Structure 1
Amino acid sequence: MSATQSNNLPLWVQDRERVIAESIDVQWRYQTAPDYTRSNENLATESTRNHLEGTLEAIVQNLVRTFEMEVSFKTNPQEWLSIVNDKFRVSTNGGLEYTAADVSAQGTYNLFMADSEHYKASQESFETSAQIFHTTFPQGFPWEVLEVFSGPPNVTFKWRHWGHFNGKYQDYAPTGETIEIIGMSVARVTDDLKIISLEHYFDNTLFLDKLTAGGKQVSSESNKGACPFSSWFKKVKKS
């Protein structure tokens, strides 16, 4: 498909930058449109796929990237172009289904990962969960489509999420490792390629195991305010 033909596709399955540019009078979560410059640079150098514009793989990738951008940065789900708002549902690993309002209020990390030993979704807000993972992956956490197995209306595809673990994860030390998540998703879409439902399948336990592999960092807080001679006094008392 040529660039001219691809421009005739719905806006929400075109390049994410174009979607942002044409999102006028939108309620942005941080008062301004997102800047994906660094993310785009990472994608250009680290993606394992280079889907031709207008192919099914490129369309699916654009649609999901638009959806993720809207969830992360558009506070009003009614302004999300990528979904059928009143019907939309999303689930992970066969778990609970959530609405667009749920995702907008709680964030994707909280709904997709739930409570576990190393992540307490119920104790995190949209903002705190985003901050945790922005700290963990300071260079970003890009996403790409690897393969599409079936086309509309039930689009089944395999994807890859990755990031460089260069910042601490909560109390755990960074390992510098490139952490990958490989998953599968099924997107049910309308004739004009809006998402009705999304089902994600991936191993989030493996993901969290990698984020805690470096062990807990020793905090210097416990030593603050202590008398510099306290250890010496303890030795004197013992003697």
Structure 2
Amino acid sequence: MSATQSNNLPLWVQDRDKVIAESTDTQWRYQTPPDYSRSKENLANESTRNHLEGTLEAIVENLVRTFEMEVSFKTNPQQWLSIVNDKFRVSSNGGLEYTAADLAAQGTYNLFMADSEHYKASEESFESSAKVFHTTFPQGFPWEVLEVFSGPPNVTFKWRHWGHFKGAYKDYAPTGETLEIIGMSVARVTDDLKIVSLEHYFDNSLFLEKLTEGGKQSNSENQGSTCPFSSWFKKFHKS
């Protein structure tokens, strides 16, 4: 696998699809590489920023999107190109630090979101959390960099996650509303732009409250639902 492309930037800070295309012999979580075509359509139509290729903002955005893709779809952390595997740590809101192995086993949203009234991370698996989130936001949950405040080695940036609440959240009815989370992160990176540590800061309380505003669905509405109570949240993810 080539570590760089023709533009001399490391592969992991280029377009996510390039990383996927060059990830040969990868252990994919769902046996096949992910398809981000729908996500790219959403980003093109709904992003509030359009960072020029090669700018610091675009590089940071590509790096985090690659990291999110690898956590979500590459089962073996040793195959993640975006991080320094043996040193990597991640935390959210000043909480516990987790390793790459922790993320691969439990998923980002179960580790980044503490147990609360509307989401019980301790009751969810990697698969159940992903399923709930994809069910809740069937059109995807895109992610973009809003601003970058400092460059390497300590990259501080503001970001936005959003999605259209068009699927049931557990047994709560969808409202059709566009929901978003705004947050800040600090990424410590190496000279070749691999992530050594990530600190995320965000308040998801309003976001979770919005997911229950539609009220409980009736039993008839719940029949055939693919998101059991023990299945989620989620993915607050990462895309």
TM-score surpassing 0.5? yes
- Structure 2 distance, partners of 1:213, 1:147, is 31
Asked if residue 88 in structure 1 is aligned to residue 88 in structure 2, the reply is yes
Q: Which residue of 2 is the match for residue 64 of structure 1?
A: 64
What code does the residue aligned with 1:211 have? Answer: L
Q: Which residue of 1 is the match for residue 113 of structure 2?
A: 113
Q: Evaluate the alpha carbon distance shift between residue 110 and residue 150 of structure 1 in structure 2; reply closer, same or farther with a 3 A threshold.
A: same
Asked if residue 23 in structure 1 is aligned to residue 53 in structure 2, the reply is no
Q: Evaluate the alpha carbon distance shift between residue 148 and residue 6 of structure 1 in structure 2; reply closer, same or farther with a 3 A threshold.
A: farther
Equivalent pair of 1:187/1:198 in contact (CA under 8 Å): yes
What code does the residue aligned with 1:13 have? Answer: V
Equivalent pair of 1:6/1:14 in contact (CA under 8 Å): no
- Structure 2 distance, partners of 1:19, 1:139, is 23
CA drift at 1:59: 0.1
- Computed over aligned residues only, the root mean square deviation of the Cα atoms, in angstroms, reads 1.6
- Structure 1 distance, partners of 2:124, 2:171, is 15
Instruction: State how many pairs are aligned.
Output: 220
What code does the residue aligned with 2:149 have? Answer: F
What code does the residue aligned with 1:118 have? Answer: H
Q: Per chain length, whose mean CA-contact separation is higher, i.e. which structure has more relative contact order (CA < 8 Å, sep 6+)? A: 2
Structure 2 runs not aligned, ≥5 long: 224-239
Equivalent pair of 1:6/1:53 in contact (CA under 8 Å): no
Q: Which residue of 1 is the match for residue 227 of structure 2?
A: none
Asked if residue 47 in structure 1 is aligned to residue 36 in structure 2, the reply is no
Same amino acid, percent of matched pairs: 87
SS of 1:187 mapped into structure 2: strand
Q: Which residue of 1 is the match for residue 38 of structure 2?
A: 38
Q: Which residue of 2 is the match for residue 201 of structure 1?
A: 201
Deviations 1:105-164 (A, max 9, x none): 000110011211111111110000000000000000000000000000000000000000
Q: Compare CA radii of gyration and give the structure with the larger one.
A: 1
Structure 1 or 2: more helix by fraction: 1
CA drift at 1:5: 9.0
What code does the residue aligned with 1:17 have? Answer: D
Equivalent pair of 2:145/2:157 in contact (CA under 8 Å): yes
- Structure 2 distance, partners of 1:105, 1:114, is 16
- Structure 2 distance, partners of 1:174, 1:46, is 20
* Matching of residues 1-239 of structure 1 within 5 Å: 7-220=7-220
What code does the residue aligned with 1:20 have? Answer: I
SS of 2:219 mapped into structure 1: coil
What code does the residue aligned with 1:39 have? Answer: S
Q: Evaluate the alpha carbon distance shift between residue 59 and residue 221 of structure 1 in structure 2; reply closer, same or farther with a 3 A threshold.
A: closer
- Structure 2 distance, partners of 1:183, 1:221, is 34
